[in-house]
Structure 1
Amino acid sequence: MIDRAVFDALLARYAKAPAVSSDDILFGSGLNISSIAFTEFVMDLEETTGLEIDIDDLDASIRTVGQLYDRLNPV
């Protein structure tokens, strides 16, 4: 399980935002994180947590920060 505070802090850094919330849109009109920054975020998250994340599982159905966090932390 990924610590939510660690997840939020890393994502905010790569999105160049002061903070992120669950309802923030990841791409486009929201945080507008670039695909390169997103990939670097995933790699940093893997290194920080020791998890392996298949970036191919992170498809276009994931629109918000909360959806991304939920996808990476299945119940």
Structure 2
Amino acid sequence: MSWSILNEILGLAIIDPVFQKKLLSSPLDAIYEREFVLSPEEIHVLQHIHVHDLAEFSQCIIDNLSPKQ
């Protein structure tokens, strides 16, 4: 998932409450239903996300998928 796709997913979650609810409860299902393509690393991260809101989801993605410096 490129950062542009991540932005698309987050943007969709902001405007579509049904997608947001599914993204927070079952991220992989929500993303696959919208036909976004994920890398193996991204799949692994999303399998282990347990958050309560979109801000936490975003932070988790940043923490786990940003290039390490």
TM range (shorter): 0.3 to 0.5
Greater relative CO, 1 or 2 (CA 8 Å, sep 6+): 1
More helix by share: 2
